[in-house]
């Protein structure tokens, strides 16, 4: 069945016509008179001299419209097709705007035609009609009104118009209108697509939701209006980040200039430029400048907000937050890109980060906020695509989420709680699976405090997320990969290997992402009670992910690595801050070369494809 293909392309450089000139060599029919030179560029120039259009903002100077017919046809029918396309283009673009239109065929046609000299036999061909025009809208070259959202396709109404004209030459042409009369099977839909029911859209699917951060300082009474106070603060920040005192700010961030001396510079600036300030206003402004220089600046309200678990700065004017598993855009913005970058440079200097040597930095702050430990991640423009850094903060409450809290939050019930506490104390090991922010760290933190006090524990982690304020014998270590001195950089594998040399009962890795899985496996296989977390979509996939990591770091085969993980004990899968699956590793099947599992808990109402057979085998 004959069908058409389209391409509508913007031309912004006159030199592009040189590349298209070779198309004329294969043309066998012209519908527009060409200049004596036969050059597309000359034809375009003649048209521009007649139309005298203005300059387009996107530099458009012309358009190239190609319609390709796939059909069995003779040369004469090909000419009739191209004539039909040309006539419709005259209606669409205007005759005076078209400076070239010609028809050509593929190489197969010319080979067959040359062989037998017969142009009456129909061959399977690609017949190409190409139209060059200067599309004018309000005296300006503009192709956008003729193109659909894909830019390289004409709008649907023009497609229908051309199809109706070509159908008179090829009555069996497949058109858009034909699709409305076909069955789903004739359209190529398979059973999955025929039965598919899309999800109901929610408001957050199509529109960013807003989150209003409440600044505690907003309740402070000042003599000047809030917008005047804000302007003074902004002017001061700009003066010390991009103005004459930029060096002083940088020295203050590295500690080379003391906080006392830097504050004196701030006060001198305010005295000189804003001597009208009352003591109340001055004290308020200095407090805000303290947060700018030595705190988290405009992010402070979000950090102190109990409802916010994650803060993600996408760019200087887009700050996203996570609140109860929902994502929102905060009502806060940096002054500009420079203001945002200077904030991160100051933060980096205070945390001894070297942005010139590394593009990714993971570090922690456990002192600035009285309520939260902060795990932070900075990705610099060296790897980001939009030219601005990404900055993520994960907040971990210093007041641990104990099991009373987790029960109230619906993460688990008392039966599951008692089971997990027992496995934490007496089981061979625990693996926690799920995606980021699924509750893995919260659960591990709660269980750390339940480990018997006569046991020795080492926790190694990327950042300071796991902690205990009650257990007498838990040691915590973190990586130092952002350290400027290469000799002082230690990753999880370094910490793990060193930990295995000490007197330990428990060996815990906060999150396994790579080669440290091999050290974790060796600890588990030598009698240590081992815990870890790993990103995975199910309990069973969590063990598979660990085995993959072991293989990548060792010479073990996948079967060997998987078998060595048989002593890990219990695997917990979490999703949306809830325990969804718990299984126990019960052994190794030598015949099937796979681990054997015993289901402990599978959340009702959701599918568990990994354990359908187990459910039948272990049905209550």
- For the stretch 400-428, pLDDT in tens is 889 999 999 999 999 999 999 999 999 99
441 to 15, 125, 204, 511: CA distances (angstroms): 60, 64, 27, 9
Higher pLDDT, 24 or 620: 24
Q: Which neighbouring-strand residues pair with 104?
A: 27, 128
Please report the pLDDT score of residue 113 as a whole number: 43
Q: Which residues contact 441 (CB under 8 A, 6 or more apart)?
A: 396, 465, 466, 510, 533
Residue from 143, 104, 141 nearest 9 by CA: 143
Are 453 and 329 in contact by the 8 Å Cβ rule? The answer is no
pLDDT one-digit tens code per residue, 151-161: 688 998 999 99
pLDDT one-digit tens code per residue, 57-84: 889 999 999 999 998 888 788 889 999 9
Q: What is the mean pLDDT of residues 379-391?
A: 93
Q: What is the mean pLDDT of residues 11-34?
A: 85
Are 453 and 595 in contact by the 8 Å Cβ rule? The answer is no
Instruction: Report how far Cα 54 is from the mean position of its chain's Cα atoms.
Output: 40
Please report the pLDDT score of residue 606 as a whole number: 78
Q: Alpha helices, DSSP H only, in 16-135?
A: 16-20, 40-51, 75-93, 107-116
Higher pLDDT, 31 or 112: 31
Please report the pLDDT score of residue 487 as a whole number: 82
What is the rounded distance in angstroms from the CA atom of residue 477 to the CA atom of residue 464?
Answer: 8
Write the DSSP assignment of 125-143 as a string of letters: EEEEEEEEE--EETTEE--
The helix (run of H) or strand (run of E) holding residue 282 is helix 279-294
The helix (run of H) or strand (run of E) holding residue 3 is strand 3-11
Please report the pLDDT score of residue 260 as a whole number: 93
Total residues found in the chain within this entry: 620
pLDDT one-digit tens code per residue, 305-330: 999 999 999 999 999 999 987 899 99
Please report the pLDDT score of residue 67 as a whole number: 94
37 to 44, 133, 236, 299: CA distances (angstroms): 12, 18, 66, 66
Residue from 579, 589, 587 nearest 538 by CA: 579
Write the DSSP assignment of 108-172 as a string of letters: HHHHHHHHH--SSS-EEEEEEEEEEE--EETTEE--GGGB-TTSSSB-HHHHHHHHHHHHTT-TT
Give the CATH fold of the 403-617 domain: Rossmann fold (3.40.50)
Q: Given this chain, do its domains 3-179 and 403-617 carry the same CATH topology? A: no
Please count the CA atoms within 13 angstroms of the CA of 530 that sit on its side-chain side: 28
Burial 199-229 (b: 16+ CB within 10 A, else e): eeeeeeeeeeeebebeeeeeeeebebeeeeb
Are 491 and 358 in contact by the 8 Å Cβ rule? The answer is no
What is the rounded distance in angstroms from the CA atom of residue 62 to the CA atom of residue 456?
Answer: 76
The helix (run of H) or strand (run of E) holding residue 601 is strand 594-602
Please report the pLDDT score of residue 151 as a whole number: 63
Place of tokens 């959340």: 603
pLDDT one-digit tens code per residue, 166-210: 999 999 888 876 666 778 887 778 888 888 888 888 888 888 899
Residue from 425, 580, 553, 414 nearest 493 by CA: 553
Q: How confident is the model at residue 116 (pLDDT cuts 50, 70, 90)?
A: very low
Please report the pLDDT score of residue 245 as a whole number: 87
pLDDT one-digit tens code per residue, 533-590: 999 999 999 999 999 999 999 999 999 999 999 989 999 999 999 999 999 999 999 9
Q: What is the mean pLDDT of residues 591-599?
A: 93
State the architecture of 300-397 in CATH terms. Answer: 2-Layer Sandwich (3.30)
Question: Per-residue pLDDT for 114 more than 60?
Answer: no
* Residue 518 DSSP SS3: helix
pLDDT one-digit tens code per residue, 481-504: 777 778 888 888 888 788 778 889
Q: What is the mean pLDDT of residues 128-138?
A: 92
Residue from 370, 375, 371 nearest 351 by CA: 375
Higher pLDDT, 301 or 219: 301
Distance linking the first and last C-alpha atoms of the chain: 60
What is the rounded distance in angstroms from the CA atom of residue 530 to the CA atom of residue 176?
Answer: 62
SS3 content of the chain, % helix, strand, coil (to 5): 40, 25, 40
Please report the pLDDT score of residue 463 as a whole number: 84
Mean pLDDT is lowest, of 64-78, 97-111, 129-143, for 97-111
Question: Per-residue pLDDT for 262 more than 70?
Answer: yes
Please report the pLDDT score of residue 48 as a whole number: 93
Q: How confident is the model at residue 111 (pLDDT cuts 50, 70, 90)?
A: very low
Total Cβ atoms within 10 A of residue 500: 16
Q: How confident is the model at residue 115 (pLDDT cuts 50, 70, 90)?
A: very low
Residue from 534, 541, 529 nearest 567 by CA: 529
| Mean pLDDT for the chain overall | 88
Please report the pLDDT score of residue 138 as a whole number: 87
pLDDT one-digit tens code per residue, 515-537: 889 988 888 888 889 999 999 99
Q: Give all strands of the β-sheet with 98-105 in edge-to-edge order.
A: 3-11, 62-73, 123-133, 98-105, 27-30
Q: What does the domain layout of the chain look like in residue ranges? A: 3-179, 216-294, 300-397, 403-617
Total Cβ atoms within 10 A of residue 41: 17
Please report the pLDDT score of residue 180 as a whole number: 67
Give the CATH fold of the 3-179 domain: BirA Bifunctional Protein; domain 2 (3.30.930)
Are 35 and 105 in contact by the 8 Å Cβ rule? The answer is no
Instruction: Report how far Cα 170 is from the mean position of its chain's Cα atoms.
Output: 48
What is the rounded distance in angstroms from the CA atom of residue 106 to the CA atom of residue 69?
Answer: 11
Are 557 and 547 in contact by the 8 Å Cβ rule? The answer is no
């Amino acid at each position: 069945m004959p069908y058409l293909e389209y391409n509508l392309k913007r031309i912004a450089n006159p030199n592009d016509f040189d590349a298209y000139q070779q198309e004329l060599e294969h043309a066998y029919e012209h519908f527009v008179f060409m200049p004596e030179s036969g050059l597309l560029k000359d034809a375009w120039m003649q048209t521009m001299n007649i139309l005298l259009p203005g300059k387009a903002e996107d530099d458009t100077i012309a358009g190239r419209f190609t319609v390709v017919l796939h059909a069995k046809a003779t040369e004469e029918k090909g000419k009739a097709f191209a004539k039909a396309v040309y006539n419709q283009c005259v209606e669409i673009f205007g005759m005076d705007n078209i400076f070239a239109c010609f028809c050509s065929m593929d190489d197969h046609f010319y080979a067959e035609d040359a062989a037998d000299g017969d142009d009456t036999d129909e061959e399977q061909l690609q017949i190409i009609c190409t139209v060059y025009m200067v599309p004018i809208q309000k005296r300006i070259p503009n192709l956008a009104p003729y193109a659909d959202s894909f830019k390289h396709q004409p709008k649907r109404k023009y497609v229908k118009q051309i199809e109706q004209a070509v159908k008179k030459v090829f009555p069996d042409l497949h058109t858009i209108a034909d699709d409305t009369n076909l069955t789903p099977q004739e359209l190529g839909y398979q059973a999955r697509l025929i039965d598919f029911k899309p999800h109901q859209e929610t408001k957050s699917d199509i529109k960013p939701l807003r989150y209003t951060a409440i600044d505690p300082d907003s309740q402070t009474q000042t003599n000047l209006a809030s917008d005047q106070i804000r302007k003074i603060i902004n002017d001061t920040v700009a003066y010390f980040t991009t103005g004459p005192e930029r060096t002083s700010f940088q020295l203050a961030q590295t500690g080379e200039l003391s906080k006392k001396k830097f504050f004196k510079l701030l006060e001198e600036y305010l005295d000189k430029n804003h001597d009208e300030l009352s003591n109340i206003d001055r004290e308020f402004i200095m407090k805000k400048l303290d947060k700018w220089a030595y705190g988290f600046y405009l992010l402070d309200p979000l950090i102190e907000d109990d409802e916010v678990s994650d803060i993600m700065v996408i760019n200087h004017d887009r700050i996203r937050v996570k609140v109860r598993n929902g994502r929102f855009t905060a009502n806060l913005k940096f002054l500009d890109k420079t203001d945002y970058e200077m904030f991160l440079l100051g933060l980096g200097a205070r945390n001894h980060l070297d942005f010139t040597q590394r593009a990714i930095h993971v570090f922690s702050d456990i002192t600035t906020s009285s309520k939260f430990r902060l795990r932070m991640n900075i990705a610099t423009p060296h790897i980001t695509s939009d030219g601005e850094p990404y900055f993520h903060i994960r907040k971990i409450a210093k007041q641990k989420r104990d099991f009373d809290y987790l029960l109230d939050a619906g993460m688990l019930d008392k039966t599951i709680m008692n089971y997990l506490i027992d496995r934490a104390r007496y089981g061979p090991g625990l693996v926690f699976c799920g995606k980021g922010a699924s509750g893995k760290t919260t659960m591990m933190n709660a269980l750390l405090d339940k480990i018997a006090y006569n046991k020795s524990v080492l926790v190694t982690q990327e950042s300071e997320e796991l902690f205990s304020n009650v257990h007498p014998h838990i040691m915590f270590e973190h990586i130092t990969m952002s350290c400027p001195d290469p000799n002082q950089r230690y990753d999880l594998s370094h910490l793990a290997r060193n930990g295995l040399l000490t007197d330990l009962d428990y060996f815990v890795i906060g999150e396994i992402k790579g080669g440290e899985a091999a050290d974790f496996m060796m600890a588990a296989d030598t009698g240590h009670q081992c815990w870890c977390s790993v990103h995975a979509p199910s309990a069973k996939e969590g063990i598979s992910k660990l085995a993959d990591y072991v293989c990548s770091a060792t010479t073990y085969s996948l079967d060997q690595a998987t078998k060595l993980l048989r002593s890990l004990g219990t695997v917990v899968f979490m999703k949306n801050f809830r325990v969804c699956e718990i299984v126990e590793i019960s052994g190794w099947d030598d015949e099937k070369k796979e681990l054997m599992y015993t289901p402990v808990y599978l959340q009702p109402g959701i599918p568990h494809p990994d354990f359908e057979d187990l459910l039948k085998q272990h049905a209550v």
